A and B are shown apart, each in its own frame.
Chain A
């Protein structure tokens, strides 16, 4: 039993190590907003043929433009507007890149301003990333998130089991565990009830 637990703890940990590091780093960034994470890149402008039928609903139209251009991401409804000629301008957001897209229905063209995000922004966006519209590959990351969440629960329980089975640091570990569990639960209850 101990060997079985240890092997899953060890090899599961190796499989989830990058996720833990990403999760730890991105959580720190959420609390401290590191300046180096935000990158400023030169926008890239390009045009592409557009074969879509105009529809009345702005959100549905933006999605069909995105699909026609072969892009992935979420159109932002609060950054979508239509002009008198029926052309649409909207922002499209995804980890790694953001776009401003302007349709020119008369010429069957789309003008796209593409902005790249830097490495750290992409690294940070992997924090619990589940799915991105039009990307099957990112779904794998959602699956990896599930595996790693399950592993963290297992690692916590198996870690306690392995420590209890070991003869080292029994007293110091027990004091640390009891004090930390009691303190953490008390803090959570205090914040919830009287915070």
Chain B
């Protein structure tokens, strides 16, 4: 591999690291909070319920109805697909880090019941970690795009790091030992989970 290719790979490694530093760190830190949830004291979520009158005709489109509910009742967050229940009610969920809204429309009543939950630090970390999907408005689309870039960056760090190690060191034995240990352990874990009883 020529020197130019080495510098090109080094630049990919460097600039993906610099550009996605905050996002990658946020995912690892929030993931750590989720794994060790017991270490972080979490208060019970603050729950508030209110009932409002639906003063507009229900639109047949779920997406536009979700948008109107958000605008009318201040339900901020990323909307997910509404759930149509067997009793005829429709449930809308809106999520942003630390806060969720659930809006339930009961047919015929002309009313909507809105439940808001506010979470503490753990809930915020969880919310940031799980925020994904190309829907819910431009801000969430942008977030999802950065999420994808951070994911691709992790794969690039792994691959370009191995190439850079091989190119930049004269003694390869310690590196090969590290690679055999890490990839060997991963392969053993996959085989164990696939083939053991």
Contact = CB atoms under 8 A, between A and B. Distances in A.
Given A14-B161, A31-B148, A176 B15 contact: yes
B17 A159 contact: yes
Interface in B148-191: 148, 150-159, 161-162, 164-165, 168-169, 174-175, 178-179, 181-183, 185-186, 189-190
B41 interface: no
Interface string B95-132: 01110000000000000000000000000100010011
A180 B155 contact: no
Contacts, number: 188
A20 interface: yes
Interface of A: 10-11, 13-25, 27-28, 30-31, 70-72, 94-97, 116-117, 119, 122-123, 125-126, 128, 130, 137-138, 140-141, 144-145, 149, 152-153, 155-156, 159-160, 163, 169, 172-173, 176-177, 180-181, 184-185, 187-188, 190-192, 194-195
B19 interface: yes
B32 interface: yes
Please classify the interface of chain B as helix (H, G, I), strand (E, B), loop, or mixed, using the class held by over half of its residues: helix
Contact of A191 (B18, B97, B161): B97
B58 interface: no
Please classify the interface of chain A as helix (H, G, I), strand (E, B), loop, or mixed, using the class held by over half of its residues: helix
Contact of A95 (B23, B154, B179, B193): B193
Contacts of A184: 20-23, 26, 146
Contacts of B14: 159, 163, 169, 173
Contacts of A17: 157-159, 161-162, 179, 182-183
Contact of A195 (B11, B77, B159): B77
A191 B139 contact: yes
A14 B18 contact: no
Interface residues of B, number: 72
Contact of A27 (B151, B156, B162): B151
Contacts of B25: 152-153, 156
B118 to A, nearest CB: 12
A130 B161 CA distance: 26
24 contacts: A11-B178, A15-B182, A17-B182, A19-B186, A23-B154, A24-B155, A27-B27, A28-B151, A28-B152, A70-B197, A71-B197, A122-B190, A128-B31, A149-B31, A152-B24, A169-B11, A181-B21, A184-B22, A191-B96, A191-B97, A191-B131, A191-B139, A192-B124, A195-B78
